[in-house]
């Protein structure tokens, strides 16, 4: 059985590493934050699987703490960019294929 748990944990670790592409590529900061949040959920699952595979029941507590505090970074993220916008500010949404100068700089 623990072989199966370990394989599942390895698979989930692989999905985290794949999902890193989204953090690296963005393009918006919302995308990056979303990906980090997703890693939290996957990390909780990996910890639960490892707790059975390695027979270490304390890992359930670690998973509990991760689940409990997963939301903190997201709340901090929302508190960014709160300078009061002038009332006539247009919501500066632009189509993703416009190569505007404020496109996030990608240095790869």
Write a three-state SS string for the chain.
CHHHHHHHHHHHHHHHHHHHHHHHHCCCHHHHHHHHHHHHHHHHHHHHHHHHHCCCCCHHHHHHHHHHHHHHHHHHHHCCCCCCCCCCCCCCCCCCCCCCCCCCCCCC
CB of 88 to other proteins, least distance (A): 11
Residue 52 contacts residue 7 (beta carbons within 8 Å):
no
Which residues lie closer than 8 Å to 58 by C-beta, 6 or more apart?
51
CB of 100 to other proteins, least distance (A): 7
CB of 1 to other proteins, least distance (A): 6
CB of 21 to other proteins, least distance (A): 6
């Amino acid at each position: 059985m623990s072989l199966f748990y370990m394989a599942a944990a390895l698979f989930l670790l692989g999905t985290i590493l794949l999902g890193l592409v989204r953090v690296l590529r963005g393009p918006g900061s919302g995308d990056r934050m979303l990906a980090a949040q997703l890693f939290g959920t996957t990390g909780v699952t990996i910890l639960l699987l490892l707790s059975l595979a390695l027979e270490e029941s304390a890992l359930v507590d670690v998973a509990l703490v991760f689940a409990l505090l997963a939301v903190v970074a997201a709340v901090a993220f929302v508190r960014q960019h709160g300078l009061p916008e002038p009332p006539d500010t247009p919501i500066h949404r632009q189509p993703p294929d416009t190569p505007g100068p404020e496109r996030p700089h990608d240095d790869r």
